[in-house]
Amino acid sequence: MKNLFLLGAVAMLLIVTHSTQAQDNSSTSSSSHSKFYLKVVGGYFFSVSPGQFPNVGPYPPQDLHTEFGASGLDTISRKVLTGSYGEGFRAGLSVGYNINKYFAVEGTFNYFHSKKNLMTRQRATMAGSGKELGHVESHGYVNAIDFAPSLVVSPGLEKVNPYVRFGVIVPLWGRLYIETDATQVSSPAGIPPGTQVVTNISRKEEIKPNPTVGFQGALGVSFTVSPRFDIFVETEYKNVPVRSKEKEITEYNETNTLINGTTGAVVQSLPGRTVNDLSVAEKNTKYVTTLDQSSNTPVNQQGTKVIYKDDNKPANELKSYINIGGLGLNAGLKFRL
């Protein structure tokens, strides 16, 4: 893909060389305008290099259906979940400067919102009845703001002007949000005979990234509609690799209900937990490249509460990697100042 844009840039430079004499200089002159211009752009990007999603806590990126029967737990179906956070909508505002007729520099601030991706689905049922014993499902999406400086090369035509744009992407802010809903039916010790406990959990976590730099390039064409305004359309490719830095659970709600095991009728509500009831280790995570004996990892579990080596310090998990690159179609308006 990078070679494609490099070839496009070379081709555009050749066009500049051979089109100088053919340029219509009698058209409306831009000398009455500043060399600065503004652009507003919106577009949609599509995934071009889907990969396997990272784990969601202890759950791998799989769509897994298991069944509990007389022989134990059997796997009914299993599917690896893949995708990309590069698919989604982006809007931007650019400030540009025309160095001359053929070259310009731009700086663009972009906002990107990816589509939601299914990251894990774990479902356990009872053989024969099909009764659901447990269900975990997580969806993730990315919101990000970046700054993209770039160089624009064109033949400088007056009415219909093709161009090549290429540069880098510097993320200024970004979050990977993961929303999880879980249900579990259990029969813990101490409850009345013939009853069960239904636990429902909903939570939202935010993953902060490490600093990174990406690549972007575009092939487009600009159409002059007035002395000050152009409209343009373009195809853009971007590649932004991102690795996780730390995670925080920002929303958490857990309810426990005692039910009749046969009819499902509610017997009574039991104590639950909120985000304020989570330990520091349950709520916060620092990602590392290696887990060893000094890492703050789980050692036990009591119900839904996970016990760590040190509950008063952030937990440790292995770094995960995602890519928010993709191929997009953009359209916008250019205003010469």
Q: Which whole number is the average pLDDT over 120-126?
A: 95
Q: What is the pTM of this model?
A: 0.87
The DSSP element (H or E) to which 200 belongs, if any, is strand 195-209
Rounded to a whole number, what is the largest CA-CA distance in the chain?
A: 93
- In sign, the C-alpha dihedral spanning 282, 283, 288, 293 is negative
Q: What is the DSSP string of 235-246?
A: EEEEE-EEEEEE
pLDDT confidence band for 26 (50 / 70 / 90) = very low
The DSSP element (H or E) to which 96 belongs, if any, is strand 88-98
Residue bearing tokens 């700086």: 107
Q: Which residues pair with 203 in a beta bridge?
A: 180, 252
- In sign, the C-alpha dihedral spanning 146, 147, 151, 152 is positive
Q: pLDDT tens across 157-189, in order?
A: 999 999 999 999 999 999 999 999 999 999 998
Q: Which amino acid is at 155?
A: P
pLDDT for res 255: 97
**Residue 240: Cβ within 10 Å count:** 26
